[in-house]
Chain A
Amino acid sequence: MNLRLGNEKGFTLIEGLVAAAILGIGLLGLAGMQGISLNRNLDANESGRVTNIAADMVERIKFNRVNALSYNNLNTGAGCGAIPVAQVMARGDCTQWQTLVNNSGLNSAQGLVQVVRLDADPTLNPITLNQFQVIVQVNWMGSMKGEGSTALRAKQAVFATVLAPE
């Protein structure tokens, strides 16, 4: 009988409080996951927009593929003055793309294009595929902070393709 009565002791208040605290920490962790999820959603949004911005430029270069080299070193941060005035399409594409990048709502967004000739120039060597490598790069600062960090994250997306003017 003594044994039975001795077992009727409940938890102490301290024990209860510790249990509540542990539960609270667990629940806070769960709530934190929603925040992480929202952040990742916003990251996905930025990636989606960057993909479209890059696709926009690739399509423009594809249309003007005969003059692909005039897009080399295009930098939305530096302006379009380096492109010769005679390259009407390349100049226009540059200014319009600059507007698109600057109005994208992405933090400090910057677009860069590199075009490199892969094959020999057909005027020098008629037997050539005349291919160009086109690299479109977008740099921006990720708007959402990483966990535990207050700094914006520098992000970069690089899209590479090869095109051959007919």
Chain B
Amino acid sequence: MAISWKSAQRRQQGFTLIEVMVAMVIAMAVVAAAFTILVTSNKAARVNSQVADTQQNARLAMDLIATDIKLAGFNMTGTIGNCTVGNPPVPVPIVPLDNTPGGVVGAINDVGPDSVRMVVPALTAGSTGGLPVLAANGVGDATTITLSAADVAAMGAAGMAVGSVVSIGGGHASRITATAATILTLEKPLPPSPGGTVLFPIGTPVYLLQCVTYAVSNVAATCGGSATCLTRNGISMVDGIEDLQLAYGCDGCNTAPPNPPLPNRVVDEQDASGGTFTQGDLITNSLWSVVPMTPDKIKLVQVTIVARQNQAEQGVAETGAMASNTTGPLIVSDHDPSADAGYNVTTYNSQRRRVLTRTIQVRNIES
């Protein structure tokens, strides 16, 4: 028993101080390495999510605005909302609203993002969040159309009133002169149909035409906390959109030689480049060579979207040094952001940006 006790005592010697210190140093090295990885991973994850968000926002904004530009016009008739130019107001399908209109063709004179108004069909004005549809066949010469009461109510909620314009199946547009529970009275009767044939069968979609305004807001309250956003009729649609620039190619809006007097499917010469189609023929400053401005002749719209991340770029370095992009202000179309009010080079350089440019053919504008 005594021997056994002694042997046990010998075994309970434990670590020496040196051993403990070595073990602690190793443990600390492991913990420090793990912590470094944690910190850098965290930073990298944040950068990743911001980059992904920025790219996603740019794509979203481009798709949204491209869809509406393709639809703009939509068989419109008469004045819709404030989609007009000049005084007395002339209804037009697209109203270019340059930030700084005028100036020399091709001059970089904008100090902020452009906006644009266009006539587009409301695609979610129906009772189920889709399109309202005819509840009874539309026959020739009819002065009314019948919809379900739910659809009429939903269209009312979407802004339909006496004076609004609806397009039936995209084929016949008319102003509404009276609304009842299920009946809309048309100012312009349906086209005549011999023998009373059905022109628009039950289920034909009815499009409520609206004038929408696309703009870029930098009011945090409008943007739901984001620094900048793309708004549609004042409602924030896409976060983190810093700039929207539009350039327009028109056919038939400049009749001075070398342009022919009538539209010829060639974008009009605007920059005196000798009859060739150049970037300068896309008007960036709402200044058409021949007044009055005739935006109904717009055939091509070049959209440039600049998206930026919402927070300053922190980089992935452990030291906390801010990442900086020193390539200078991003000049798109006729906008040089370094001329903007409140431009700060340090802030500007610490934000990552993504730019997308696309030229879009307008499909629904008659001229």
Does B125 sit within 8 A of A, measured CB to CB? no
Residues in A with CB closer than 8 Å to B19 are 13
A44 in contact with B55 given A59-B359, A96-B278 (CB within 8 Å): yes
Q: Mark B43-79, 1 if CB is under 8 A from A, else 0.
A: 0110110011001001100100010000000000000
Q: B276 contacts the other chain (Cβ, under 8 Å)?
A: yes
Does A38 lie within 8 Å of B278, measured CB to CB?
Answer: no
A91 B41 Cβ-Cβ under 8 A? no
Please, which residue of chain A has its CB at the minimum distance from the CB of B278? A92
Interface presence of B281 (CB below 8 A): yes
8 Å CB contacts to B: which residues of A11-49?
13, 16-17, 20, 23-24, 27-28, 30-31, 34-35, 37-38, 41-42, 44-45, 48-49
In the bound complex, do residue A89 and residue B356 qualify as a contact, i.e. CB atoms below 8 Å apart?
no
Contacts A38-B48, A45-B55 hold; do A88 and B41 have CB atoms under 8 A apart? Answer: no
A87-99 interface code vs B (CB 8 A; 1 in, 0 out) = 0110111011001
The closest CB in chain B to the CB of A10 belongs to B15
B90 lies within 8 A of chain A by Cβ? no
Query: Which B residues are in CB contact (< 8 Å) with A95?
Result: 278
A interface bracket (residues with beta carbon within 8 Å of B):
35 or more
- B300 near A38 with CB under 8 A, answer no
Q: Does residue B357 face the partner (Cβ distance < 8 Å to A)?
A: yes
Interface status of A82 (Cβ within 8 A of chain B): no
Assembled-state Cα–Cα distance A64/B276 (Å): 15
Question: Which residues on the A side are within 8 Å of B359 (C-beta)?
Answer: 56, 59-60, 96
Provide the main secondary structure of the chain B interface. Answer: helix
| Assembled-state Cα–Cα distance A35/B45 (Å) | 9
Contact B361 A38 (CB under 8 A): no
A158 interfacial by beta-carbon distance below 8 Å: no
**Closest residue of chain A to B50, judged by CB?**
A41
Q: Report which B residues bind A (CB closer than 8 A).
A: 4, 8, 11-12, 19, 22-23, 26, 30, 33-34, 37, 40-41, 44-45, 47-48, 51-52, 55, 58-59, 62, 66, 265-267, 275-279, 281, 299-300, 354, 356-361
Q: Given A41-B51, A48-B356, A60-B300, 17 more contacts at CB 8 Å? A: A1-B8, A5-B12, A13-B23, A13-B26, A24-B30, A31-B40, A31-B41, A38-B48, A41-B48, A45-B55, A45-B354, A48-B55, A48-B58, A55-B358, A63-B300, A66-B265, A89-B265
**12 A–B contacts from the bound complex (CB under 8 Å):** A1-B4, A1-B8, A20-B26, A37-B44, A52-B357, A56-B357, A59-B359, A59-B361, A60-B359, A63-B265, A89-B277, A92-B267
